[in-house]
Amino acid sequence: MLDTAHRFAYNEDHAMFRDTVRKVFAQHLEPYLDEHEANGIVPRETWKAVGEAGLLCPTVKEENGGLGLDFGYCAIVSEELTYLGSSAGFTLQNDITANYVERLGTEEQRRKYLPSMISGDIITAIAMTEPGAGSDLQGIRTTAREDGDDYIVNGSKTYITNGQNADMVIVVAKTDPAMGAKGTTLICVEDGMPGFEKGRNLDKIGQHSADTSELFFEDVRVPKANVLGGVGSGFVHLMEELPQERLGIAVGAQAAAQKAFDLAVEFTKDRKAFGKAVFEFQNTKFTLADLKAKLQVGWAHLDWALLRHFEKKLTTDEASAAKLWHTDLQWEAVDTALQLHGGAGYMNEYPIARLWRDARVTRIFGGTNEIMKEVISRSI
């Protein structure tokens, strides 16, 4: 169990919510982790159960059908989900797409999507990355051509989390390719629209329970009413949401680092070598002591960043620094913990193997860590 005794970003209401999250995950996720990994997807009934328990989109305001809570509740879901060892796409809906719809959506769009996103009846995705455009979002080639009361969308996207399950995808498209970033628009494309096809569920190194897909758009006719935010404002909207997205990645990374450390401590105290516990060797103790010190710093920094975000003061460069630092720590922790497991760490039956595989992508998505350094450098 994740130790939260010394956290300072959370209050008693947060603690009560965390207890609920743990109970719901223990019932609806933990017994099925291996099944979700094998199938490459978390089934819709699990989404429904999590939604019915109030764990989806907790920040959505009451007038839009939500609980109107702060981002700390999303962070708690992320911490507990990652510590459990699941890569279910709940956090994308909580941390990212719900905020896009509520902040940018028309009243009609909010009524159409948010209540069902909260209940788990609608699963969402956001489609930015393309085969030829990753961290450089200005390089996207998917287009949306105006045609009367509609846009005609053409292009393809890849590495899209929740892609197989998605009922609605926020698609980043060029409505005016000649305008570069200023010609980018967000458009809600719905499952079942003619010409919108989901490709294969991609075969990834890790995060197997997160369905991740290719998406294809061939002359998809989408009503202009499905534009999210202003036409030509897509790039600006994407930049506005980056602090929360990158903070969310940092939250999961820190929880994963802690889980790796806890697994290493448990394993080395139990496993014997040369007549004594592996933990008793000086190298093991010093290695774990070094990690513990870094985790202590990490939790303090994460709570600082969360409090900054609650007050709407967290800047893009601060969030980028958090994403950079915590995902680097995550990789150090999982790789070190696997090494301390010896040969057992290379076996998929041990949880550390899954944590190690799942960790590799966090320094890539949400903007690569090299891009994070570029962003941070601009603030110096």
Kindly give, in sequence order, each residue whose CB lies less than 8 Å from that of residue 189, ignoring residues fewer than 6 positions away. Answer: 127, 153, 168, 169, 171, 196, 217, 220, 222, 226
The residues, any chain, with a CB within 8 Å of residue 72's CB and separated by 6 or more, are 9, 10, 14, 306, 310
Pairing of strands 168-174, 212-223: unpaired
User: Is 356:367 a contact under the CB 8 Å cutoff?
Assistant: no
First to last CA, the chain: 39
Helix (H, G, I), strand (E, B) or coil at 2: coil
Rg (CA), the chain: 21
Task: Identify the three-state secondary structure at position 275.
Answer: coil
Q: How far apart are CA 330 and CA 209, in angstroms?
A: 19
Give me the phi and psi of 222, to 5 degrees please.
-120, 130
Residue 299, both tokens: 């939790």
Give the list of residues 6+ apart from residue 93 with CB closer than 8 angstroms, or none. 56, 57, 117, 123, 124, 162
State yes or no: is 311 an active-site residue: no
Active-site option among 37, 80, 102, 245: 245
CA angle 302, 308, 313 (to 5 degrees): 140
Angle between helices 351-359 and 234-270 (to 10 degrees): 150
CA distances from 112 to 105, 115, 192, 228 (A): 10, 7, 16, 13
Residue 90 CA to its chain's centroid (Å): 8
Q: What residues are labeled active site?
A: 245
